[in-house]
Structure 1
């Protein structure tokens, strides 16, 4: 088990559900109190804000788990991962105003490390 060192500033930011029908899933989640749609690309992806976190609905035929860890210093977090021997790709700027790095855990689940760009 980890001791928590090297992940200071990381917190669970959201989950991604791989869904067969983005519109159908979006209609369900939008009905929940306090849910706000912040990104929507028909047939492909919907991103919802729920409190301080987010839920992404991503259209894929096969289900797969995707977890996101928000980082206050993504570049520092990446360097700590790299020096500890983890195979994590370098962060890159995303078109929706974030920097992110997508990695896979040993079971093939997506683990996203991200930071909002101010």
Structure 2
């Protein structure tokens, strides 16, 4: 089995895709007007409109209701990225902070309120874990 992607459901797909294109600097691949993907070298963030939910199971997903998942992206220099994101992100949860497990992390919310973590490994153990 291979983990392929995480999917976010949104009521405003254009706004959310634009946000993720801007913060990741990765252009989206649109599979349909109701579905797009931000593909990175190690994973994919899929973004679907609320119109896709009934195709799976009506009422099974609700946009802007997440309070348990954090979408995480490995970046080369989280402090530098933080400075760039100040022009894009309006809801920072914290500034870059070194975590006990060796990553320097920046937590913010996307326009739908989903938590996003951009992080850089900074300790030798964390760098080794992520091949840095």
Work out which structure has the larger RCO, using CA pairs closer than 8 Å and 6 or more positions apart in sequence.
Answer: 1
| Structure showing the higher strand proportion among its residues | 1
| Structure showing the higher helix proportion among its residues | 2
TM-score interval for Structure 1 and Structure 2 normalised by the shorter chain: 0.3 to 0.5
